[in-house]
Amino acid sequence: MSDIRTMVDVAAPSRDTPIPSTAPLHAKFQKRLQSRGNEFLLDVAIDATPGFTILFGASGAGKTTLLDCLAGITTPDSGRISLADRLLFDFSCAVNVTTAQRRVGYVFQSLALFPHMTVEANVAYGLAHLSPAERTRRTTSLLEAFRISHLARRKARGISGGESQRVALARTLVTDPDFLLLDEPLAALDAPTKASIIDDLREWNRTHNIPILYVTHSRDEAFALGERLIVLDAGRVVAHGTPHEVLSAPLVETVAQLAGFENIFDSVVEAVRPERGTMTCRIAGDAGGVVLETPLVRGGVGSMLRIGIRAGDILLATSPPTGLSARNVIPGRIQSLEQRDVIVSARVRCRIEMEVHLTLAARDSLELTPGKEVWLVIKTHSCHLMQR
C-alpha cells in the first residue's frame, strides 16, 4: 500500500479538461469494511467547496477511508463522487476514474518522501511528462512558496520534520491538483512550525482556490484553518457547519467530547422557568445527586438530557462564595491533582465527580491538596445541554 500511496502523492498526468478553480467536490457513497471479524460501514454525503473543509472525528470514525475513496485508492460499494461536472465515480454507471486521472493531491501523515533523493528531486518527481523548462519553473515556484529553496540540494533524509512536511506539500501541489486531501499532515509538529506551514498553505490556496479536505484531531487547527467542519462518528456525518457552530455548541455527545467538554452527565429536567430563561436539571449521584441551573432549551419536566461542562469553565473556591452572578455553587472535596504541563487537572467529588482545570498559580495560592474542601462555581451558560 505504501508504494501506491507514494504514486498518488506525486502523480501528475496531463489535464484533458480544465477544471474551474471554483469547482465543488460532491460525494455520496457507502463502503463496507471487514476488520478482524468486525464490520464497519462508511455511509457519507458531503460537499466540499473551494477552501478548507475540516474532517474531524475520533480514531476509527472513517476519516482516512473517506479520503481513500475520494482519491480512488479504495472503491466504494455504491454511490457517486464528482468534481463540478466531472464524474469521478458512479456505481450505477460503472464509472471509476483511476487515481492518476482524478488529479487529486494526497499528503499522508507518513509523508513517504524518497530519502535518497534531493529535496528538489522529490518535489519534481511527478513532473516527468513536462518539458525540462516547465519542470524547473514549477519546482522553483513551489520551493519558494514553501520557503525551502535553500534545501533544494539537500537529501530528504537530512532535513527536519517541519522541512519534510513542507517538501511533502510542495511535491503534491506542484502537480497542480484539482482537489487536495491532507491526512493529519502536521500532527507531529510543534505549534509555531505548524502555524507557519498553515499560513503558507492558506496563501497558496488564495490563488488556486480548490477544495481541500483536511483531517485533524486538533481543535486549534480546526479553528485556524477551517471555513467548514464535518464531524464523522462510526462512519456517518453527525455534525457540520463552521468550526464555531459545531464545536462551541455541539448537539451530540460525540462532538462534545471532541470539542473538549470533559464533564458529561445524564440529567433529568426538574423545573422549567421560561420567564428567567433557565431550567433546573438534576444529575444523578450520591445523596440525591447535583442540581444545576441551565439555559432553557426545548424539553419539559421529566425530559432526559445530557449536560456538558468544560473543565476550564469551572471555578474553585476554598470558602463558600457569596455575591456571585453564577447560579451554581456546589460543595465538594478534592480527590486528586494532576499537573499537565502548565495546567492542573483536579478531580473533585461533589456527590458526582467533576474534572476542573486551573493554573499552577491558582493551585499554589489556594494551597490545594487532595482531601481539601472546596466549592465549585459554574455559570448557567457554562452548562451545555444535548439530546441523549
12 pLDDT above the threshold of 50: no
What is the secondary structure of 231-281 as a DSSP string?
EEETTEEEEEE-HHHHHHS-SSHHHHHHTT--EEEEEEEEEEETTTTEEEE
295 Cβ contact list (under 8 Å, min separation 6): 277, 278, 279, 380, 381, 383, 385
| Of 222, 218, 115, residue with least CA distance to 163 | 115
pLDDT in tens, 206-224: 888 999 999 988 777 888 7
Distance CA 106, CA 129 (A): 19
Task: For residue 112, name the pLDDT band (cuts at 50, 70, 90).
Answer: confident
3 pLDDT above the threshold of 50: no
Task: For residue 288, name the pLDDT band (cuts at 50, 70, 90).
Answer: confident
φ, ψ (nearest 5 deg) of residue 30: -125, 145
What grid cell was written down for 340?
499537565
| Of 44, 3, 9, residue with least CA distance to 27 | 44
**44 to 1, 70, 168, 249, 335: CA distances (angstroms):** 24, 11, 28, 22, 43
Task: For residue 5, name the pLDDT band (cuts at 50, 70, 90).
Answer: very low
Q: What is the pLDDT of residue 21?
A: 58
174 pLDDT above the threshold of 70: yes
Q: What is the pLDDT of residue 11?
A: 38
Task: For residue 94, name the pLDDT band (cuts at 50, 70, 90).
Answer: very high
Which superfamily does CATH assign the domain made up of 2-257 to?
P-loop containing nucleotide triphosphate hydrolases (3.40.50.300)
The architecture of the domain spanning 261-387 is Beta Barrel (2.40)
Instruction: Provide the percentage of residues in the chain whose pLDDT is more than 90.
Output: 58
Question: What mean pLDDT is predicted for residues 14-26?
Answer: 63
pLDDT in tens, 50-78: 999 999 888 889 999 999 999 999 999 99
Task: For residue 113, name the pLDDT band (cuts at 50, 70, 90).
Answer: confident
User: What average pLDDT does the structure give for the chain?
Assistant: 87
Residue 10 in 3-state DSSP? helix
Instruction: Report which of residues 257 and 134 the model is more confident about.
Output: 134
8 pLDDT above the threshold of 50: no
Q: What is the pLDDT of residue 2?
A: 35
- Highest mean pLDDT pick, 183-197, 218-232, 320-334: 320-334
155 pLDDT above the threshold of 50: yes
Q: What is the pLDDT of residue 36?
A: 66
Question: What mean pLDDT is predicted for residues 34-58?
Answer: 88
Residue 102 in 3-state DSSP? helix
How many C-beta atoms lie closer than 10 Å to residue 129's C-beta? Answer: 11
Instruction: Report which of residues 3 and 264 the model is more confident about.
Output: 264
How many C-beta atoms lie closer than 10 Å to residue 38's C-beta? Answer: 7
What one-letter code names the amino acid at 115?
A: P
Domain borders along the chain are 2-257, 261-387
Q: What is the pLDDT of residue 299?
A: 79
The overall longest dimension of the chain from CA atoms, in Å, is 78
What one-letter code names the amino acid at 61?
A: A
